Each structure stands twice: as C-alpha cells, then as structure tokens.
Structure 1
Amino acid sequence: MTAQLNKILLVSAASLALIAGCGRDAGTTTNTSPTATASEAQTSTAETGQTAKINQWFEEQFEASVARSPMTQTFLGRKTNYDKWDNATEEFEQESYELQMAALEEMRQQFSLGKLDPSAQLSYRLFEYEAEQEQRNEPFRNHWYVFSNFRGPHSSAPAFLINQHRVDTLEDAEAYVARLEGMKEYLAQNQERAEAQYERGIYPPKWAFAKMIETSRNIISGAPYDDSERESTLLSDFNKKIDALDISDEQKQSLKSRAEQAMINSVKPAYEALIDMFQTQAAKVNNDDGAWKLPDGEAYYANRLQLMTTTDMSAEAIHELGLSEVARIHDEMNTIKEQVGFDGTLQEFFVYMREDPEGKFTYPNTEQGREDYLAKATEIIDVMRGRLDELFFTKPKAELIVKKVEPFREKSAGKAFYQRPAPDGSRPGIYYANLYNTANMPTYQMEALAYHEGIPGHHMQLAIMQELENVPSFRRFGGFTAYTEGWGLYSEYIPKEMGFYSDPYSDFGRLAMELWRAARLVVDTGLHDKKWTREEAIDYLLENTPNPEGDVVMAIERYIAMPGQATAYKIGMNKILELRRRAEAALGEDFDVRAFHDVVLKDGALPLAILEEQVDAWIAKQQA
C-alpha cells in the first residue's frame, strides 16, 4: 500500500486538499472527450498561448498551496519554513477549501478547455475533477478521524521528524529543535479538532483507544522523559543526526541540551494531554465499528467509496464483486493445493500455511531474522530491476531501499507500505516492511509484497510520476487510490508472466495476496454498510484467507479506521487488466506490453474512467 494515504504524504489534510487535490482521491469523471499527450498533437498558435498560460497558472496555484504547508515543503525536499509545522486548525482548513473553490472558478473564467492542447486539457479536467470531489466531500470533511489506531498526528509527527527532516547543517539542527518546541501547539490543534469531533459523535471504537495510548506512551518513554538508560525514539534520532554533523563538540552538546528541554517542556506535555483525552473518551464510547454509526453515515460511506474507487459502484455491488472474486481465486488455490500434495480441504490448507507447523514459511522473530528478511526482500527487488527492459521503455531514476518500520509505531502500522522519494534525489523511495512479528510476514508472500511495494509496483509508478516532464506539479505529486493501488496489485501479477513465482508456494502467496484484496471488498462493505462487527470481519478473513491471525486483526482494525480505502486495490487492478486484455485483443501481434505500460504511466495517476479513455485513444492510434 501506499501508506496512501497516506497515505501517506505526512502533511495536513487541509494542505493536501489545496494542492489541487494532491494526495486526495477522486470520485466520478467529467464527460469531456479523450485526450492524448501534447507531443502527439499539432497545436495552433492560440492553443500554444493558452496552454503556456494555464500551465503557468497551475504552477502558481501549486506553489501558493505549498507555501501554506511547511510539512509539504519538507516532503518535497525544500528547507523553507524548516522550523515549522502545518496549521492544523479548523479555520485554516476551511480557508484552504475556500481558496481551492476560488481557484476552480478562476480557472473556468480565464481558460477555455477547447483552446488548450491535449495535455493541458487533461490537466484542466483533473484540476476540475479534484475540486469537484472536494465539494462533494465538504459535508464530511470532519468525519475522517483525526486520531485512530492506524493513523494520526500522534504517530505521524515523530515519523515525519525521523524520516523527512534531514539534518545537514547547524541551521537544520536548530530547525529540528524548533519543531520539537512547536510540537505542543501542533498536537494541541489536532487535539482540539478531535475533541470537537467527539462532541459531534465522531470517534473510533472503544478498543482503538488502547492502541493510541500505547503508541503515545512509546513516544515519551526513555531518556529524557524518565531515568531509563535507553534513549527515547526522538532523542535517539536527533542525537544520531547531530553526531554526524561537522560542528564543534560544544555546539553538539548545546543542541542536544536544547532538544532535551524541548522534549520535556513541549513533547511530553503534548502527549500527556493526548493520553488524558484518549482515556477520557475511551471511558464513554462503545465498540460500534463501522461508518454507519456516524452522523449521516450511509452518505459518508457512499462518498468514501466514490472517492477511493473513482467509480459510482455501490456498496452492494462492491460486496458482490468481492464474493465472486474470492470464489474464483479459491478455485485457483485448490489447484496449487493439489500440486503440492496436501491432503485436506482448502480451509485446512489455509490453517497449515498459517500455523506453519514445520517452520518452512517464517523467518525467526529475532533481529537476525529481521535482517535476513530485509536482505531477501532487497534481493528480490534487485533481480526484478535487472529485467525491467522486458516490461518498460521508461524507468525511474530514483533509488529504492528496503527498511523495517520503526519500533515506536510497528504495533499499529500496516504490514508493508511505500514512501515516495524526494523529488530532488535527496531521499530514496522506501519500501517499509513491518517486522514486529515475522510470523505475520510469511516467506511465501515475500515476492508478491516486494513487487507491489517496490518494483515494478509503487516505486515504479510513483517515482516515474514525480519525474514526468512538462506536466504540472499538482499532477506529479497527486494521486488516485484506485489507480495507484490498482497498479500495485497489477504489479504482483506481471512477474507471473515472466516466469517468477516458480515455487508453487510462492505462487500460492501471489494468489493469497490477490485473495486478500478480493476479501477486502467483502469485509470493508460488511463493516461499513452491513454493520458487521470487528469480530465478524476477522472471522471472515480467517476462514477465507491463509493470512496469520495477527495480520488479519491488524488489517480489520485498519479498515475500520479508513472506510472505503481497502476497496480501491482490486477495483483498480481489474480495470487495468480489462484495458490490457482489450488492447491485446484489438492489436493482436502488434501489441507491445512495454508500450501499454508507458500509456498507463505516462500521464501520472488518473481516475479509472479517464485512464480508460487514454488507453482507448492509444489503441485507436495504433490501429490507424
């Protein structure tokens, strides 16, 4: 996963909304005509002039939005406002929304779609699309939990400092200290919004609060918060970065002392206040899990499905698709079960794979076992990297590394996710593997997981998107979950055609990963539309997938915290496969998978219907 969500850009929702929908997902498509790239079209003088103007306008809008978000600036590799956090107040987010709506109206008044070249037409449509989605989302802007068991500023703020805030100079170090000093205000702003949500009846289920409390306590455990000899997460990170600087020992000691004071006077009270809020709310809430429990919950969930899938599919249609896909994949798994000679039902085979009685499918849950896992995952990616010429004409320049999830958040984080590289090359793309319990990361799923998060999956798509030339920045740094995660899941399938997954257990792992995404369609709609309980959803996955119980529980808790997000993967993959089959049938021997992949990736992330237009236009051109 992307994290997506962030996942995933580690910036405020207000800032993301304003970046022309950058990082947001969209709903249904507008009904304008198919487009092609600018290089493929003969443009008139009027088109050239209007195109140049609107592209400049897009950049001005992007820069204006980035200027409102110090955290986005850091994510983009910039060191402007390097000592500040985002403004997380409700007033600031409302202002951001109003600015986005004003920009939409300005674009419509100043530019005519018909006077733009095809590439600029696509940019116009996407800018409009995402702004219109924000309009649809506006009534539900405060339904998305500020804090949850799976995500929130209590975990993302320290992760941001550790992974995003580089310390190359004395000034960078001082900016880090300033951010530590500002964490109290930043978390208090988020806390104020969470308390307002609670008063409106919007809060996670009761069981989630214990996990939020644990994560928060992890941040303020160790030195300088107590007498422990172990350094806390943030102090350890800061000291390592300071020790690597070429400055005097006196300067290093002064910085470390100031950082410790900031942690005691700002970070600690901020987290203590959060813990008090979590404990107070937990005492009064119940364990209802789904979005249906929220004010106007049915409409909210319908909006979430539209946002995540970029389709108009109903919850019922998605649920039925999931059941159908689960049955199909079970049939394919039965074939592998027979191939390996297992004597028993498919469900008994699931139990065998899950419990691994012979210890064949799990690395030891030790530091050495974790290092061995990371090394093997890196090797899998390196082998695939050596064969990319078979699949792509265009390949990313950015580097990719494999890293384990940090200890402070590993109990609540997902099993794997990807973080984009810095545009300036200062930070590589990162495939995060959650190795808190290696039993939740079976070896038979290693190949598919590495392909999904790394190459040819998220790193391939997102790094190429950031490196696109002559494309407005809001498109290079934006995203649509169905497209992005659909590509990730499609990328698990591609290696099968190349002869990978030669071990039948590994091929079973590939199917297990696809089955997981199909089952998500069932449990997400079950939880949020059909009022399933957490336990009912867990039981469904345990019965219908081979995944370990810890993996299952963590996944269901994630789906509860992020309504609709889990439905995007399979719907996106199905659409990409559908378009590929259509192209293969239409072009026959002239079909080149490398050209098809370039068409899918050349414009960055797109809503699925607009992606379909682009592929159909390419097919027609090839036939002509």
Structure 2
Amino acid sequence: MRKRILAPLALGILLATQLPVPAVAQAAKSTAAAATARKPSTSAPLVALFAAYWNEQARQFPLNATAQGDNRYNDQLPNDQTRAFREQQRRFYQQYQASLLKFDRAKLAGEDQVSYDVFRYQLETALEGLQQFRWMMPFGQAGGLPQSMVQFGSGTGSQPFKTAKDYDNWLGRVHGFPAWTDSAIANFRQGLKTGVVLPRALVVKMIPQLEAQVVADATKSLFYGPITKLPDALPAADRARLTTAYQQAILTELVPSYQKLSAFLKNEYLPKARTTSGFGALPGGPAAYRYAVKAATTTNKTPDEIYQTGLSEVQRLRTEMERVKQEVGFQGDLPAFFAYMKNEPKFRPYKTSQEVLDGFEAIHQRMLPNLQKLFGRTPKTPFEVRQTEAYRAASASAQYVAGSPDGSRAGIFYVPILDATQYNVTSLPPMEDVFLHEAIPGHHYQISLQNENTALPKFRRFGGFSAFSEGWGLYCESLGKELGLYTDPYQYVGSLGGEMHRAIRLVVDVGLHAKGMTREEAIKYMMDNEVITEQLATAEIERYMGNPGQALSYKTGQLKILEWRARYEKQLGPIFSLRAFHDELLAGGAMPLAVAERRMDAWAARQR
C-alpha cells in the first residue's frame, strides 16, 4: 500500500522537497510561553521571500508545477540529469537559505515561525540530498520520469488537454525527452563505473515497463490517448495538424527513447546489476541510508532504533491477531489463519473490476454518517476511485494522486486490479483499511485541505513530508471503528494486517539496507507475519529496495500522531475534542514532525 501521493513524479509522498530535522528541530523548541502566543501579524518581507522561492522553483521543476495546477510551464521538461542542473539547484537552495537566515525568527508571528522552520528544514535537507549518489540511479521500477511521462501524457493525468495550446505544450515536453534519456543513460554508466548500481531484481522489472511503450503503430501508444479525446471545439485544421504531430512525436521521439532505455538496461546494465539487495552493499551506502532514514522520517532516529520499534510493533500486532483468531473460533496457528483468509472463496466476492470499484464506494457510503463527528473541515476537491492502468498495475500499489486546488481535477484513488476474481477483501490491501488510508479521510482529506488552504505560503500548500502524510494515512486506519467500519472481525484482522504491514516495513527496510537481509529473507519475513500473497510481498520488498527509507515514514508518523492524541486527551480531559484535534492537525498542512509537535503543543495550551 504505497503512497505515491501527490504529484506523479514518484519519489515518495510528494515533491522534490521532501526533506530531515537538523538544527531546525532545535530552533523549533521555543519556550512554552512563546509557543502559546499566536501573533496575528505577518512579515511582508518573509511572504515576499516565500513567493519568490515558489515562482522560481515552479520554473525549475515544471512537472511539479503542472501537477499542482500551475500551468505556466506546461511545455517545459528540463534535463534534470545533468551536472549543470544539480549545480543550479545547489545555488538556488543556498541563495534562499542565506536570505532566510537574515530574518530574526524570534520576532516573527507564530504561524510565520512555523513557515520559517519548515522552509529552513527543506532547504537544509535539499542541500544535503544533493550530496547523495542517487543521481547515478535515475529511475527505478516503481517511479521516475519514464513512468511519469506516461501518466502526464496519456490524457488522464494532470497535464491539461483542453485547447490547441495545451496539446502543443505537451509536444514541447516530448521534445525534451530524448536529451533526458541520453543523460540518464550516461548517469547509469557512471554508476557502473563507481559501483553504484541497482539490484538485478529491479532491473528485470524495469525493462518490460519500458518495452510496453515501444509500438510500431502510433495509435496503439498510451501517448495517443489525448488524440482520441480531441475537443469538439477544436478547428478541423488544428485537429489534423495535432494528429499528425502526435503520431510523429510518438514514432520519432518517444518510442526511440523508450527503445534506447530498454536496450541499454537489457544489454549493458542488467549483466552488471548487483545481486545484493540493500544500500549497505554500495560504496558510501551506509551513510546514504542514514540520510534516507532522516529524510523519510524527519527525525534523528537511528536505523537500529527504528528496527527495534518494528520488532516490538510486530509482536504487539501478532498478539492482537491471535486474540481475534480465537474470537472467531479458528482452529490452527496464525500462519494457517492467514492462509485461510487468503484462500477462502468468500473473501473473493467479485467477478469484474467495476464490482471492486463499486465495493470501495460502498465503504465510502457506510462511513459518511460518522465523518462529520470526527471532522469539522472537509475538502471541496472532488474525489473518485479509478482502476490503475494496466501497463503499471503489476508493479503498483494502491495510490492517491491529488486533485487540483480549484476543483477542476478530482483527487484519484488508484486501485491495481490484476484479476477481479482474485481480489481479496481482507488481504493486503484490505478494502476498508486501504480506503481509509488512501482516500477518505486519509490522503484525500489531508492533501486536499492543505492544497485548498490559501492562507499558507505555496511551498507549504503544495509541499509534502512523507512522515506526516503517510503517518496521517496510517493513523486514519485506526479510525475505522469510530467511523462505523471493521464491524466484521475479518475486516478488523485485515486492518490489523494493514498496520502489521507498516510495522514489518520497519524491520525489512532497515534489514535490507543496514543489516544484510536478502530480498528472499525479507519476502519470507513479510509472508510469515501477515496475510499477503507472494506476488504482493515481492512487489513491496522490491519497492523498499528501490526507494530506501520511504517505507519507514508510515509507522513513524502514525506513532507520533497517536502519541499526541493520547497526550492531549490526558491534558485536556473533558474539554478535549477529537474533531478539533483533527481539524488543527490538518490546518497547517504537512510538515516535519518536530515542527508539527511544537505547533500542536501550542494548540493544546490554547485550549487550556
């Protein structure tokens, strides 16, 4: 159950600025009195700095801008694989870091202090990230520009296709893809020279993904999708011109680029891909993994601390699963119970993909009466459930892609359905559980409310921190009973399995990258401790292999939110309002956990 929430640039819950709490975490710990005061004034120079930063980063990262509804650069596709681009980024972040540090944080209003902390954190982490070796692994099996190009260019994503200019804009992006391809191959080759290479198990999955875009007939390409939906209002001359131009772009730029990438990986890279599974086996890998852990969790927890938390949570959840197993009267051990839930036909009630999608909408309708009890603020952005595209379904997890803030594009909950007759409502991902996390009130509420909040500077409105967003999504799974779900004990076990899945991640992610655990050992550990098929377990483990640390964010964030809730319930007693707690937590948007904790402590103080 992943969360490529946000922009489909597939790096984790969101944009290019997902970043770890260094000195900023300490700066965030102001006195209780200062934290309690919420000064109403706003610093105009600080607002101007944030606005300038946002405008410039939109130009540097135009795909992110498009995904966020900023259409000024819809024809741009910068070659982010070059050394010159990385140096440009470094200068960019350093410039804004120097400007920010000229402000006296103590003199800023309360919410401006939060923005200051978040901004400083992002810049520091981005600069540290530029020192890492990930540029020598330009994309993987679960994300990167080759996949994002299809999502943007198929006509069903965030790239607009309403006017002739929209169609021409996409062609502008296509024209930049061949140069990106050449630079990405050069970076892969540099990785081969230095020993920074992807695991073979991932490369074999990447090749067919690329080959799927190689077609002889342009009309059979996913990139032809916009032409099949040409607006009726377009003049006949434009329709003819664009049809010809898209056919030519597909056959002379896109297909050759995907062909070149797949041939390179198959013939040159795959034979030299590594047989090891984790970052620990790479030159400089242990340090790179420690950075990945910081960036994903926004904490200074060590890999070993996280590993021990994972073992403890796995044991706690196994104990609860044993209790439910006895409650339903199942005879046999826990692995046998898992096998029963995985194989019992009654847990696979669907015949068609549409029935699966309808099943998710039925969950939505069941919880509606209770949502207003727990949430005072709900988003205006529309929402829909959609089946994951066939070309990527085999390697995909359930996913949320944010809608546009103006409501013109709905937030989409993507569900991979390989075979509807085998879709198990209790196994990973259990239906009620995954809907709470990916859709409502999980990512759809959190991201949409953040994007719609025009009081926030744009870098906060459209920024993302996996520990907060994924932590929120996992926390929402714990709200199932309060929202009228999990009435069936098997669905409840499914929800425990969903939480177990994230606890297991703490063990296997650290195990793979810091403790020498192999891919096969990680798959076995996952299958021994939850209801999951080998196919799904393999996809999950390979995802962690390709994106180290990101999977740690879920449990880390969830445990912190649960800690806050328990703390304020105890502090505030009868005046504690769960609805008010949720509304305040979502009001500020995603942020590093240390910054969010200071902000929520100030909220609790105001309640008193």
TM-score of Structure 1 vs Structure 2, range by shorter chain: over 0.9
Q: 2:339 aligns with which of 307, 326, 351?
A: 351
- CA gap of 1:34–1:495, structure 2 versus 1, over 3 A, is farther
Q: 1:70 aligns with which of 49, 52, 62?
A: 62
Structure 1 residue 249, shift from structure 2 partner: 4.2
For 2:9, give the aligned amino acid: L
The reply to whether residue 516 of structure 1 matches residue 516 of structure 2 is no
Partner of 2:89: 96
Structure 1 residue 27, shift from structure 2 partner: 3.2
For 2:180, give the aligned amino acid: Y
Structure 1 residue 158, shift from structure 2 partner: 1.1
Partner of 1:119: 111
Partner of 1:607: 592
The reply to whether residue 260 of structure 1 matches residue 252 of structure 2 is no
1:14-29 correspondence runs (5 A): 17=16, 21=17, 24-28=18-22, 29=25
For residues 301-335 of structure 1, give each alpha carbon's deviation from its aligned partner in whole angstroms, at most 9, with x where no partner exists: 11111111111111111111111111111111112
Q: 1:336 aligns with which of 317, 321, 324?
A: 324
For 1:233, give the aligned amino acid: L
CA distance in 1, matches of 2:106, 2:418: 54
CA distance in 2, matches of 1:177, 1:299: 41
Partner of 2:148: 156
Q: 2:27 aligns with which of 27, 31, 44?
A: 31
For residues 91-120 of structure 1, give each alpha carbon's deviation from its aligned partner in whole angstroms, at most 9, with x where no partner exists: 1122112211111111212x2112211111
CA distance in 2, matches of 1:223, 1:576: 52
Partner of 2:391: 408
Secondary structure of 2:130's partner?
helix
Structure 1 residue 613, shift from structure 2 partner: 1.6
- CA gap of 1:141–1:115, structure 2 versus 1, over 3 A, is farther
Partner of 2:101: 108
Secondary structure of 1:336's partner?
helix
Secondary structure of 1:402's partner?
strand
| 8 Å contact kept, 1:318–1:521 | yes
CA distance in 2, matches of 1:317, 1:39: 32
Partner of 1:227: none
Structure 1 residue 64, shift from structure 2 partner: 1.3
1:369-388 correspondence runs (5 A): 369-388=352-371
- CA gap of 1:35–1:597, structure 2 versus 1, over 3 A, is farther
Q: 1:453 aligns with which of 422, 425, 438?
A: 438
CA distance in 2, matches of 1:493, 1:66: 36
Partner of 2:210: 216
CA distance in 1, matches of 2:39, 2:391: 55
The reply to whether residue 417 of structure 1 matches residue 404 of structure 2 is no
CA distance in 1, matches of 2:590, 2:400: 16
Tell me which moved more, 172-181 or 204-213. 172-181
| 8 Å contact kept, 1:26–1:607 | yes
For 1:428, give the aligned amino acid: A
| 8 Å contact kept, 1:381–1:454 | no
Q: 1:311 aligns with which of 289, 295, 299?
A: 299
| 8 Å contact kept, 1:402–1:430 | yes
Structure 1 residue 518, shift from structure 2 partner: 0.5
Partner of 1:186: 180
For 2:64, give the aligned amino acid: T
- CA gap of 1:373–1:267, structure 2 versus 1, over 3 A, is same
Structure 1 residue 67, shift from structure 2 partner: 1.9
- CA gap of 1:353–1:403, structure 2 versus 1, over 3 A, is same
| 8 Å contact kept, 1:2–1:417 | yes
Tell me which moved more, 195-204 or 121-130. 195-204
Structure 1 residue 258, shift from structure 2 partner: 1.6
CA distance in 1, matches of 2:34, 2:490: 43
Partner of 1:435: 417
- CA gap of 1:315–1:12, structure 2 versus 1, over 3 A, is closer
For 2:374, give the aligned amino acid: L
CA distance in 1, matches of 2:477, 2:247: 45
CA distance in 2, matches of 1:81, 1:619: 42
| 8 Å contact kept, 1:11–1:69 | no
The reply to whether residue 79 of structure 1 matches residue 71 of structure 2 is yes
The reply to whether residue 480 of structure 1 matches residue 473 of structure 2 is no
TM-align CA RMSD: 2.3
CA distance in 2, matches of 1:177, 1:522: 45
The reply to whether residue 172 of structure 1 matches residue 172 of structure 2 is no
The reply to whether residue 41 of structure 1 matches residue 23 of structure 2 is no
| 8 Å contact kept, 1:421–1:463 | yes
For residues 193-226 of structure 1, give each alpha carbon's deviation from its aligned partner in whole angstroms, at most 9, with x where no partner exists: 33323322212111222211100011123622xx
| 8 Å contact kept, 1:145–1:561 | no
For 2:582, give the aligned amino acid: H
| 8 Å contact kept, 1:482–1:571 | yes
Structure 1 residue 34, shift from structure 2 partner: 6.3
For 1:232, give the aligned amino acid: S
Tell me which moved more, 378-387 or 599-608. 378-387
Structure 1 residue 82, shift from structure 2 partner: 2.3
Structure 1 residue 418, shift from structure 2 partner: 0.7
| 8 Å contact kept, 2:137–2:187 | no
| 8 Å contact kept, 1:35–1:121 | no
Secondary structure of 2:128's partner?
helix
For 2:348, give the aligned amino acid: T
The reply to whether residue 3 of structure 1 matches residue 7 of structure 2 is no
For residues 511-531 of structure 1, give each alpha carbon's deviation from its aligned partner in whole angstroms, at most 9, with x where no partner exists: 010000001111111100111
For 2:322, give the aligned amino acid: N
CA distance in 1, matches of 2:136, 2:370: 41
Structure 1 residue 419, shift from structure 2 partner: 0.7
Q: 1:558 aligns with which of 526, 538, 543?
A: 543
Structure 1 residue 615, shift from structure 2 partner: 2.1
Secondary structure of 2:347's partner?
coil
- CA gap of 1:12–1:599, structure 2 versus 1, over 3 A, is closer
Secondary structure of 2:312's partner?
helix
| 8 Å contact kept, 1:308–1:482 | yes
Secondary structure of 2:399's partner?
strand
Secondary structure of 1:283's partner?
helix
For residues 260-297 of structure 1, give each alpha carbon's deviation from its aligned partner in whole angstroms, at most 9, with x where no partner exists: 11111101111111012101110122311101112211
Give the TM-score taking structure 2 as reference length.
0.93
For 1:99, give the aligned amino acid: F
For 1:374, give the aligned amino acid: L
**Structure 1 gaps, min length 5:** 225-229
**Structure 2 gaps, min length 5:** none
Partner of 1:251: 238
The reply to whether residue 232 of structure 1 matches residue 224 of structure 2 is no
Q: 1:275 aligns with which of 259, 262, 271?
A: 262
- Matched pairs, number: 597
Secondary structure of 1:401's partner?
strand
